[in-house]
Amino acid sequence: MREKLFQYLGHLLEQNLPFLALKMAGSSLVKVIAQNDQKWYKSAPDKVAYAVFSKFQGYENQVYIAGEKILSFNYEVSTSQPKINQSIIPEDGKEAYLELFEKAMLRLQNQQLSKVVLSRKQEFVLNDSDLDIFERLLDTYPMANGYFFFHPQVGKWMGATPELLLNVQSDGLNVAQSKMDDLPVTVSTMSLAGTAVDDGSLNHIWGDKELEEQQLVTDFIISQFKESAAIDIKQSVVETVKAGHLLHLRTIIKARSTTSEIKTLLNALHPTPAVCGLPRDESMGFIVKNENYDRSYYTGYLGIIEGAQHHYFVNLRCMQLLEKTAVIYVGGGVTAKSEATLEYQETRAKLQTMHRLL
Ligand SMILES: C=C(O[C@H]1C=CC=C(C(=O)O)[C@@H]1O)C(=O)O
């Protein structure tokens, strides 16, 4: 099935046909939603199934892929260790990052902001084909949500994101019935923040900065759920989870809602303080004015919608594939307790997730 998947994706690329291929965390299926033509749908197509690829900011460049061809491929993760690029990542953009950090720190110290996510990008030469890289991505990160997105007018993106934005499951109804509005559904999301490099010790001790920044995300999600009329809101304990060579703090949050409220919920959640900051509008303003580059689809979201089943993920640990280079996007949450060089090192550690595949 592995060969069939790559043959099929190769065919779609050759024909310039838009697709989203997604393997959800821990699953052994790669789902491919593809179109029969090159049309760019900027709003949800009139199909039971479709995919979405959304920017961090603004909705005018939203990409929907009509589910004209929907295929699932069994994917057994390779038992042999995939090749990993271990070359050292050159320093690039450190000064600009530190300058940005200083500006953010002024706003954090005078309490205009309580958290802001600062990001940057770095470009690397490509030595392999896109499909070879995607195969390595799926084998290297079986517990991530691995995806490959292509649209001839938008480009190619790939990632292995650990972060669920919103999962919607209809309460025991099948897809055909789920065309109806107002079905009761179970919604879940996660508060994911705080980063450490995994040193193999099972019990990482987190600092106050990480515990607080993750709590801010949890509180934000719960308050947005409440405002969006979700009921039965429940949260898990805070856990330490692995994402490749990194560790994060995570809380799972579940609630009940209705299908007609999904769009409201999605807009209420995105962008969470895991990718933007708090207060949200002020952080967004700070990012847009000061980051000095366009995040584009990084920290936006991607998703697959099939009737009343929706799966949306935050577009993190990702890269944009150009003709001869890959642009990797990384960021991290900064609070008044942050230290500049540690935050910069964190962005370097996050670069490795994609860099290892190149
Ligand atoms: C913004 C990113 O990560 C987010 C998700 C988990 C942990 C994060 C952190 O520790 O700052 C970030 O909020 C990124 O990977 O580019």
pLDDT in tens, 189-232: 999 999 999 998 778 999 999 999 999 999 999 999 999 989 99
The Cα–Cα gap between 101 and 298 comes to 19
Q: Please tell me the distance between residue 218's alpha carbon and the centre of ligand 1 in angstroms.
A: 14
Look at ligand 1, atom 5, and give the residue with the nearest C-alpha: 193
ipTM for the complex shown: 0.99
Tell me the CA distances in angstroms from 222 to 130, 212, 218, 230, one per residue in order.
Answer: 39, 15, 6, 9
Tens digits of residue pLDDT in 101-116: 999 999 999 999 999 9
In the chain, the number of structural domains is 1
Tens digits of residue pLDDT in 245-290: 999 999 999 999 987 888 899 999 999 999 999 999 999 999 999 9
Q: Please tell me the distance between residue 255's alpha carbon and the centre of ligand 1 in angstroms.
A: 24
Our answer on whether the CB atom of 250 is closer than 6 Å to any ligand 1 atom is no
Q: What pLDDT does 328 receive?
A: 98
Is residue 87 domain-resident? no
The domain in which residue 122 lies consists of 2-78+94-355
Q: Please tell me the distance between residue 7's alpha carbon and the centre of ligand 1 in angstroms.
A: 34
Helices 280-290 and 94-109: angle between axes, nearest 10 degrees: 150
Give the bridge partners for 87, in sequence order: none
Beta strands in the chain (DSSP E): 19-23, 29-34, 49-54, 63-66, 69-74, 115-125, 145-151, 155-161, 164-170, 184-197, 231-235, 239-243, 246-258, 277-278, 301-306, 309-314, 318-321, 325-334
Q: What pLDDT does 16 receive?
A: 98
Residue 357 pLDDT > 90, yes or no? yes
Is residue 193 domain-resident? yes
Is residue 84 domain-resident? no
| Structure-block tokens of residue 334 | 């900064």
- Mean pLDDT for all residues in the chain: 94
Q: What pLDDT does 178 receive?
A: 47
Our answer on whether the CB atom of 287 is closer than 6 Å to any ligand 1 atom is no
Is residue 83 domain-resident? no
Our answer on whether the CB atom of 248 is closer than 6 Å to any ligand 1 atom is yes
Our answer on whether the CB atom of 195 is closer than 6 Å to any ligand 1 atom is yes
Best probe residue, ligand 1, of 195, 299, 313 (max atoms within 8 Å of C-beta): 195
Our answer on whether the CB atom of 116 is closer than 6 Å to any ligand 1 atom is no
Q: Please tell me the distance between residue 182's alpha carbon and the centre of ligand 1 in angstroms.
A: 34
Q: What pLDDT does 170 receive?
A: 83
Atom of ligand 1 nearest to the CA of 217: 13
Best probe residue, ligand 1, of 316, 328, 345 (max atoms within 8 Å of C-beta): 316
Residue 180 pLDDT > 80, yes or no? no
Our answer on whether the CB atom of 160 is closer than 6 Å to any ligand 1 atom is no
Q: Please tell me the distance between residue 52's alpha carbon and the centre of ligand 1 in angstroms.
A: 21
Is residue 85 domain-resident? no
Q: What pLDDT does 75 receive?
A: 95
Cβ proximity of 302 and 147 under 8 Å? yes
Our answer on whether the CB atom of 192 is closer than 6 Å to any ligand 1 atom is yes
The Cα–Cα gap between 234 and 2 comes to 38
Is residue 86 domain-resident? no
Our answer on whether the CB atom of 117 is closer than 6 Å to any ligand 1 atom is yes
Give the bridge partners for 260, in sequence order: none
Query: What is the percent of the chain where pLDDT is above 90?
Result: 85
The Cα–Cα gap between 349 and 343 comes to 10
Q: Please tell me the distance between residue 276's alpha carbon and the centre of ligand 1 in angstroms.
A: 10
Is residue 319 domain-resident? yes
Atom of ligand 1 nearest to the CA of 332: 11
Q: Which residue has the tokens 């949800």?
A: 44
The Cα–Cα gap between 323 and 102 comes to 35
Is residue 324 domain-resident? yes
HSE (CB half, 13 Å, CA atoms) of 41? Answer: 21
The CATH number covering residue 220 comes to 3.60.120.10
HSE (CB half, 13 Å, CA atoms) of 243? Answer: 30
pTM of the predicted model, to two decimals? 0.96
Q: What pLDDT does 181 receive?
A: 62
Look at ligand 1, atom 10, and give the residue with the nearest C-alpha: 194
Query: What is the percent of the chain where pLDDT is above 70?
Result: 97
Beta strand pairing status for 309-314 and 246-258? unpaired
Tell me the average pLDDT across 11-38: 97
| Structure-block tokens of residue 345 | 């090192």
Beta strand pairing status for 115-125 and 239-243? unpaired
Look at ligand 1, atom 8, and give the residue with the nearest C-alpha: 193
Our answer on whether the CB atom of 274 is closer than 6 Å to any ligand 1 atom is yes
Least confident among 55-64, 192-201, 286-295: 55-64
